[in-house]
Structure 1
Amino acid sequence: MRSLERHRDVGAYALGVLGEAEAFRFEDHLVECAQCTAFVSEYRPATRQLMLYRQSTPRSVHPFAAPGPRLLDRLLGEVATRNRARRRRLLFALAASVVLATGGPALALVVGHDSPSGTAVVADPPSSQMARTDAETGVWAQVTTRERLWGSDIEVEVKDAKGPRSCELVAIGKDGSEQSVTSWMEPADNEAPLTMQGGSSMRSDEIRRFEVRTADGEHLVTLNSP
């Protein structure tokens, strides 16, 4: 495969539609191409949404079915909640700077602040965090989950000095089902941790544990849910 053709395969690789042999060759290309590695990272949010849509949509639903008004209302409601959460974090940051200057009394004013419409600012969605280093592989990982209407928003931070290799984070439910949360290419001789975003249609109380594995299925580290 010529170099230009390899660049053109970045979208197909990110969406997981390349054949096994082509994907293997493209991963060799990723080790040497910083541009394609960046493009794969940019495709991850779209890949995650398509994965969640596939997992939550019954097979009987036509792939081009239009969303109903209730779904649109839920999506708009979640966007509004995220915007309120951002404003709340900004207010806390402002409060912290005031506390350093005045000794703390102004903090209560910000915590009790209401939105312009008169309703209280909505708190951030519930979250949990777990971290572990595997004694055999030496791989360290930290997973943070946040509850969403559609399941869980998941952030994973991994430190693995034995690259290059293709890895993935897998969520394992209490019913034994597995869902791939996100995947990435671990660069060679990398001492710094990598941070990736992903998601699962399972809520955090439905997840028994997370596992970091290589693309070949080799186990790297397990994180049990609290």
Structure 2
Amino acid sequence: MTPPIDHTDVGAYVLGVLDAHEAEAFEAHLLGCELCQAELKSLSALPDLLDELREPPSAPAPVAVEMPRLLDEVAARRRRRRIVTWVAAAVATIAIIAGPIVTAALTATDPNVVAFPDGVPKLTGSGPTGANIELTVQEKGWGSDVVLSLKGVRGPEKCELIAVGKNGQEATVNSWLVPSWGYGVPGWPQPLMMRGGAAMKPGDIAKFEVRTLDKKVLVSVPA
């Protein structure tokens, strides 16, 4: 029987805690799951950071970014798996002593990390379907730079963020796929965070809408 796959298995896979059958099932799942692929990239440095708690400091190895190379490296680490109790102790030690270092390493090495800019007011709104949105808008020479956080949506669904101008014109800020487990919901509390741009100045925008590709409005927020 194929072991059930959970998206939280990424950390266990990187640390080599999964058994052979679980690892094989997860690798098959990984090939078709962009979310787990992105998570694997962000966690690929974790085993080296664990080693640094036990070994003298040395020059950090570059984080792999190609999926085949990542799989090869993780497989090699799995072949020399640590004892599970040692892993648990090491993770606990990191949480107490080196938490900020790990956080900085994982975020600094992942170019896809998106965060709200400091000091920029947030626009917020809620929709009838339970969707919640936060976004910031900054004026640029080419238009508006937008950072979005979206919660309370389930998939599978295809969505887009639309800037609606005061003159009625529209511009697509960004579009994305919502996986079946969703974003910012029970069982998957992480919000969707992304950045996009609109060819409109902030003063020309009347509102932002998150829509499905069949034009259903999930949530709207005045600009």
- Same fold per superposition (TM over 0.5): no
If the length of structure 1 is used for normalisation, what is the TM-score? 0.44
Q: Which has the higher helix share?
A: 1
